[in-house]
Amino acid sequence: TKVQVGLLFGGNSGEHEVSITSARAIIKALTCGSNMNKYDVKPFYIQKNGVWQTGEIPQQVLDSGFALQSQSSQVWNFPSTASDMDVWFPVVHGPNGEDGTIQGLLTLMQVPFVGSGVLGSAVGMDKIAMKTAFAQAGLPQVKYMTITQSNIGSNPCILPKLYDDIDKNLGYPCFVKPANLGSSVGITKVYERQGLKPALNKAASYNHRIIIEAGVIARELECAILGNANPRASVIGEINYNSEFYDYEAKYTYGHSQLIIPAKIDDIINQKVQKMALQAFAAVNALGLSRVDFFYLEDTKDILINEINTLPGFSPFSMYPQLWAHSGVAFPELLDILIQLALEKEFASK
Ligand code: ADP
Ligand code: MG
Ligand code: MG
């Protein structure tokens, strides 16, 4: 009998559309070739308002590629067919998907799922927790400062002392980021002190945990990780873009950025990046898959870790599958491995 795969996509985050694109590719690759005889895929769609849909609506979204919102139900619901799944494949990016929330639900359901569990997902998604874990593991990072609710009080932006500290410790340009997002949402590159206030306000509108980093001039390298207890690292890719930084538009507008795989870097850099990516994966307790992103400062040959993404973009053109394709693992095989890793993880955790 075939393995019943629950493909969970959409979600109430800014990366809803990205998730639809990923899910379309995944369902196609799981229903063809040798995967066809192995897996039976049922799509579950989480609307932007958080309502779960099963049956015809997910299929319509997958066919059209466009988000749908049915008017009828407005409360969170759990489709009864959800309990028939043997394994879940969540491809929901950002808050309420990549941050441990869905992973907690699936854990309670006692059904295996692809990717990191609650801890790895939550630590990976929160940039402050992530950086703390990386620092503990001895991974080099850019200089940074954090602001949390306790420093902010009722007004995050009347903070001359904070501005002084940023001037002194980080300088300009610096990057102001909400701690809990992805796809560059809510991030501002700040060029002078006057720019701090609007940048902090913007970040605060997304999350009360904010991170401020010294800006570096660097090449951006990415490495894909696959596995549970003994994960492996892919070839290294590089991102090129023609904007001030790798912002939302550069990420998702066709032609605004290019992936270069493999990155044109020395062997030594290559090996260092792979090693650091594996260390980062372990540092946050990730499982299954992750994409680990780096800054490479060519002049000094320093490699700084930027972040880990425990549920990276998953269209066939996304960096994660591309890195594996260039490492000898084609897209359908990659999905097969990820599902097998999910099933194996369930045994491992017992
Ligand atoms: P996200 O999780 O939203 O992708 P990142 O922390 O990766 O957020 O930042 C998005 C992009 O912003 C990076 O890919 C890079 O181009 C730029 N960036 C972020 N932080 C820095 C920094 N400290 N120095 C230089 N560029 C940065
Ligand atoms: Mg990210
Ligand atoms: Mg990033």
| pLDDT, tens only, 158-171 | 578 889 999 999 99
Ligand 1 pocket residue status of 172, Cβ below 6 Å: no
Looking at the CA of 249, name the nearest ligand.
1
Q: What is the pLDDT of residue 347?
A: 46
Ligand 1 pocket residue status of 216, Cβ below 6 Å: yes
**Is residue 89 within 8 Å of 338, Cβ to Cβ?**
yes
Superfamily of domain covering 125-140+217-348: ATP-grasp fold, B domain (3.30.470.20)
Looking at the CA of 185, name the nearest ligand.
1
Q: What is the pLDDT of residue 346?
A: 54
Centre of ligand 3 to C-alpha 256, Å, is: 16
Question: Which residue's alpha carbon is nearest to atom 24 within ligand 1?
Answer: 215
Three-state DSSP state, 342: helix
Ligand 1 pocket residue status of 294, Cβ below 6 Å: no
Report the distance separating Cα 291 and Cα 157, nearest Å: 34
How many angstroms separate the Cα of 23 from the Cα of each of 8, 17, 18, 184, 322? 8, 10, 9, 21, 16
Report the distance separating Cα 296 and Cα 59, nearest Å: 42
Q: What is the pLDDT of residue 280?
A: 98
pLDDT in tens, 28-79: 999 989 999 999 999 999 999 888 999 899 999 999 999 988 766 667 777 8
* Residue 114 exposure: Cα atoms within 13 Å on the Cβ side: 26
> Which ipTM did the prediction report?
0.99
Three-state DSSP state, 292: strand
Across all residues in the chain, what is the average pLDDT?
A: 92
Report the distance separating Cα 112 and Cα 57, nearest Å: 25
Give me 189's structure tokens: 């590159």
pLDDT in tens, 307-348: 999 999 998 889 999 999 999 999 999 999 999 999 997 544
Q: What is the pLDDT of residue 252?
A: 87
Of 6-20, 75-89, 234-248, which gets the smallest average pLDDT?
75-89
The residue to mutate among 169, 180, 184, having the most atoms of ligand 1 within 8 angstroms of its beta carbon, is 184
Task: Calculate mean pLDDT across residues 79-89.
Answer: 89
Task: Calculate mean pLDDT across residues 221-239.
Answer: 97
Residue type, 198: P
pLDDT at residue 277 tops 90: yes
Q: What is the CA radius of gyration of the chain?
A: 20
- Could you please state the CATH topology (level 3) that the domain comprising 3-113 is classified under: Rossmann fold (3.40.50)
Ligand 1 pocket residue status of 129, Cβ below 6 Å: no
Ligand 1 pocket residue status of 296, Cβ below 6 Å: no
Centre of ligand 1 to C-alpha 117, Å, is: 25
**Is residue 320 within 8 Å of 114, Cβ to Cβ?**
no
Q: Write down the domain spans for the chain.
A: 3-113, 125-140+217-348, 144-214
* The CATH number, out of the four listed (3.40.309.10, 1.20.140.10, 3.40.50.2000, 3.30.1490.20), of the domain defined by the range 144-214: 3.30.1490.20
